[in-house]
Amino acid sequence: MNILITGGCGYIGSHVAWALADAGHEIQILDDLSTGHPANAVPQARLIIGDVGDLGLLSKIFSQSDVSAVIHLAGKILPAESLWEPLRYLNENTCKTIGLLEVMVRFGVGRLVFSSTAAVYGQSDTPMVDEDADTRPMSPYGLSKLMAEQAIATACAAHDLRAIALRYFNVAGVDAELRCGPRGPNPGHLIRTAIQCIRNQQLLTVYGNDYGTPDGSCIRDYIHVSDLAAAHVSALLDLDSHAGFQALNCGYGYGVSVLEVISAVEGISGQALPHIIGPRREGDPPALVANSARLFSKGTWKPQNNLNQIVASALHWANVTNKDDGAGEY
């Protein structure tokens, strides 16, 4: 299968690209390298440097090669940043997805796997959420992804298009063979931030310890990036047997608190991680855990990792290979 991956040089995108290459698919990667890194590109893939919002470029790609499916990961991903740049997030994540859909429909490319997020749920009424839960995003980032999902669903209803939106929960870890990984100046998410703090002997800030959770810190569902990449391969295969649009949660189905993550990082690294308690961060729900029963029920995906393996792989990338320059698309 000839697959176009947008954002295929990013942290998650590169792992997805490797998973597809390992499964024997032909790959083209479209990435503007604004946050992705060329060192993450799968060597046998065709790398096209450009913006997914460039409809002329998309038309050229589809007209010159027999693309049979698109995995769309390109976009902006930081909820906090989206609070002060909401229009940028709506343009990057929603408008450019609509443009991609227009070109796909024009060229008869009928299969799409979309990179979505648990941020579409916002503050859920229950700690564990399924795909039928109310969608009440707490940030422009979450709203932009939800609106993109709605655009995809509308396109599926009107055209010969099949699509799956994978709603990621907290993604961490690194490819076991260290073929790709997070790069750049901003850690973004907790596990990488904690590792960077240990390496640089910095204090870690815990944003709030007065939530209604057992230890007062936020609870999240962490998923190893390689397990998430495998879920994309599974979703791509499922498109052959599923018409229209569906959303699927991608998580392990159990939560881990911020303080438990700190404990895991300390235990695996063998180093203390000093931390301080800061104020709550705007847009953070107390707990968000995936009910991934729908994804599990398909029988083609099963996670292979746990929190300790996630932390160990991230430490391996950062400390053993020294490849982590403190950044990434977490």
- For residue 259, the tally of other CB atoms under 10 A from its CB is 18
Q: Tokens 């057992």 map to which residue?
A: 214
DSSP per position, 166-217? EEE-EEE---TT-SS---SS---SHHHHHHHHHHHT-PEEEE-S-SSSTTSS
Q: Is 121 a catalytic residue?
A: no
- Cross-strand bridge partners of residue 4: 28, 70
Strand-pair category, 219-220 with 256-257: antiparallel
- DSSP letter at 119 equals G
Taking the mean position of all CA atoms in its chain, how far away is CA 248? 13
Identify the three-state secondary structure at position 87: helix
Give the H/E segment covering residue 165.
strand 162-168
Four-point Cα dihedral 273, 277, 283, 289, nearest 10:
50
The CA distances from residue 17 to 43, 72, 236, 280, 311, in Å, are 10, 11, 12, 36, 22
CA angle 9, 204, 76 (to 5 degrees): 30
Q: Could you give the CA distance from residue 271 to residue 70 in angstroms, rounded to a whole number?
A: 43
Q: 3-state DSSP call for residue 34?
A: coil
- The CB density around residue 113, as the number of other CB atoms within 10 Å, is 27
Given 11, 121, 141, 222, which residue is catalytic? Answer: 141
| Number of CB atoms found within 10 A of residue 68's CB | 16
Which residue numbers are catalytic?
Answer: 141
